[in-house]
Copies of this chain bind each other. A is one copy, B any other.
Amino acid sequence: MNISSQRPYREVLDRLRACGLRPTRQRLGLARLLFAGSDRHVTAEGLHSEAIAADVPVSLATIYNTLHQFTEVGLLREVVVDATRSYFDTHTADHHHFFNEKSGLLIDIPDADVVISQLPPTPEGTKIHRVDVIVRIVD
């Protein structure tokens, strides 16, 4: 057991603490899976399988709780592209998506790669919370 193998735990642990989330075994395990590498898009079921495979025993109920808690504190962002399933994105900054409806694959588009040069005024009494551009693609 060496220092460097511990670092990811420490970083993730601090990150959870910083968000006010108690770093439980489940949350730590899921956070390590989610934030280990580059940006990811997961579904509850997908993350659950992955967690089980990675020896991070978690119930599906806890997966849902965790995904929503992470989303609330800004560690994740929900992407609505498919009426039958919720996707969660580890990339939380503004950006957009390609969505392959056949395969269900979601691909990030950097915010800078989409330029919206005109948008109508929002309805009276409302303001923009966020603009989602979904480029639906087919093979």
Q: Which chain A residues have a beta carbon within 8 Å of chain B's beta carbons?
A: 78, 80-83, 85-86, 98, 100-101, 107, 109-110, 113-120, 122-123, 125-139
Across the interface, do B119 and A135 meet the contact criterion of CB distance under 8 Å?
yes
Copies in the complex: 2
Q: How far is the CB of A70 from chain B (nearest CB, A)?
A: 16
Q: List the 6 closest pairs (A to B, CB-CB), nearest first.
A: A115-B118, A126-B137, A113-B120, A117-B117, A129-B136, A132-B134
A114: chain B residues within 8 A (beta carbon): 116, 118-120
Distance of A109 Cα from B80 Cα, bound (Å)? 19
Taking a contact as CB atoms closer than 8 A, the residue among B86, B116, B136, B138 that contacts A132 in the complex is B136
A129: chain B residues within 8 A (beta carbon): 101, 136-138
